[in-house]
Structure 1
């Protein structure tokens, strides 16, 4: 066999490259938010386990994974600067396979979404549209950090939460309290999404991506991210007290205090500490989401 044959590029990506493209580590937030919506619905879990499993899979390994593949394809030139080891710029995802995977996962997500009824299917369609709008031209919402983070926050947290409630209620709209908490935590997720942009400042600046660290500077973006994460939780604490759930309010407050202490370290050096805060501060944020969901379950009179 000639040396030319040995040097020929691979025609198909390795399974490991596809897995890396779909970024399993990012699937947790929407899966968690869907579960929060399930809990907040107040509907007994018995008899709904198949819907719950399908919804969790749709939220994470399908719709969220699709968004990651779409983003990597349309960000391949930015990643060549910021993260050249990623599957596409490194060549481990040859040709246009990054785009093919994004399309295949979109169609697979739509097929699975049909199992959740018309409302579940509609939510999946909205989530997929946001995923493509965030990364793909002509909209490419990520070019503006304000709109891009908002789209991600809605898709990852609010939409997934509402979908969980809708699926459990057989298509009925969730209670107003659940919708309000979903909206508040979507706003908080805006700040979480900003954390991801601190690692990509140089490439974003060169490629014209107006992330908040590029638009506002490192310190300005860090302060805005902290405000977006903290203020909605403060409102949640007030609402839980108003709804007669003081123990749940106290738990969310304690989690917020823990985040505040970590934010001080993050603000001292946002570029270096953004990943650290994502790993240790964000889990406190999402824990508060579940505490709030159980508070609503208690209001509905359902067993915890």
Structure 2
């Protein structure tokens, strides 16, 4: 392996990406790998979208620090907790699909993993409570959202419910955790979280369900062996790929339709235009070979999805929803 290839493998391993290689010995890098930093990005972005939709965000040093604290909560702490917890309960599957992961490779003990889970969870609850005090919330909405997210992460990964065993429920729980929860947190920090925002973002999370399905293709063999009913296992590779792209496109278009209904036509048009390159990359990469092109598809198409989320947040803030 060349030095460039080794460096690429180490970077992928550190970020928690598919296609890494074993051999890391630094316990802190191993802990970071468990937290999968690459997965923090959509939740950090969701906080920004929520702040935009609140209509109450104004640029100031204090508000920037608040947003950064909320990003720390949603990304490194709570997503890190979720990913570490998931790896703990997925160690048998990972031994088949991704044996280089820290737990199946023996790079870290189960006791150390449990400690990391608890530290991240308690850190998240502490930051959430601090944000409630800072924002002078009468009801501790940030703390409640954090506890709710922690519960969803647990029932997603752990028996007896283990929602990820069901392709529909598991992927929707994942989609809602990636879109709705951080959005609610960002909105609640600068405005009043209401039922309209909650329902709209839960609908948007159905597009997130499609994104979550993309991740199932890398583990289809292990899921099949262990009886997990992911959509690629239930419907086959081709049908699951189509379900994935239809969910992504249709529910984004539905959100654009809602924006038209509240007379935010410019924002709606931008959201619709952002769907076009996604469809292009879906045809170029994902539908042709989802097993080989899943990462390439996410890298090329997902930026248009997240930009559309911010456009939607700005539209809702402009409309005063």
Mark yes or no: TM-score above 0.5.
Answer: yes
Match of 1:109 in 2: 124
- Identify the match of residue 50 of structure 2 among 37, 44, 53: 37
1:288 deviates by: 0.3
**Contact conserved, 1:13 with 1:97, CA < 8 A, in 2?**
no
Q: Residue by residue, what CA displacement relative to the aligned partner does 1:26-69 show, whole Å, maximum 9, x if unpaired? A: 00111111110101100032353332221111000111110000
Residues 1:181 and 2:221 are matched in the alignment: no
Match of 1:221 in 2: 240
Matches within 5 A, 1:19-58: 19-45=32-58, 46=60, 47-58=62-73
Match of 1:233 in 2: 252
1:223 deviates by: 0.9
Higher alpha-carbon deviation: 196-205 or 111-120: 111-120
Match of 1:250 in 2: 269
Match of 1:15 in 2: 28
Match of 1:9 in 2: none
CA distance in 1: counterparts of 2:110 and 2:84, whole angstroms: 14
CA distance in 2: counterparts of 1:147 and 1:23, whole angstroms: 22
1:112 deviates by: 1.4
**CA RMSD of superposed structures (Å):** 1.6
1:13 deviates by: 6.7
**Contact conserved, 1:39 with 1:294, CA < 8 A, in 2?**
yes
Matches within 5 A, 1:117-266: 117=132, 118-169=140-191, 172-174=192-194, 176=196, 178-265=197-284, 266=286
- Identify the match of residue 86 of structure 1 among 101, 116, 119: 101
1:254 deviates by: 1.1
Unmatched tracts of structure 2, length 5 or more: 1-24, 133-139
CA distance in 1: counterparts of 2:271 and 2:99, whole angstroms: 39
SS at match of 1:50: helix
CA distance in 1: counterparts of 2:158 and 2:126, whole angstroms: 22
Residues 1:64 and 2:86 are matched in the alignment: no
Q: Residue by residue, what CA displacement relative to the aligned partner does 1:129-181 show, whole Å, maximum 9, x if unpaired? A: 11111111111111111111111111111111112111212xx32372x3343
**Contact conserved, 1:110 with 1:125, CA < 8 A, in 2?**
yes
CA distance in 1: counterparts of 2:111 and 2:84, whole angstroms: 12
| TM-score, normalised via structure 1 length | 0.90
| TM-score, normalised via structure 2 length | 0.86
**Contact conserved, 1:13 with 1:92, CA < 8 A, in 2?**
no
Q: Residue by residue, what CA displacement relative to the aligned partner does 1:197-238 show, whole Å, maximum 9, x if unpaired? A: 100011111112111111111111111111111111111111
**Contact conserved, 2:232 with 2:240, CA < 8 A, in 1?**
yes
Unmatched tracts of structure 1, length 5 or more: 1-11
CA distance in 2: counterparts of 1:75 and 1:58, whole angstroms: 24
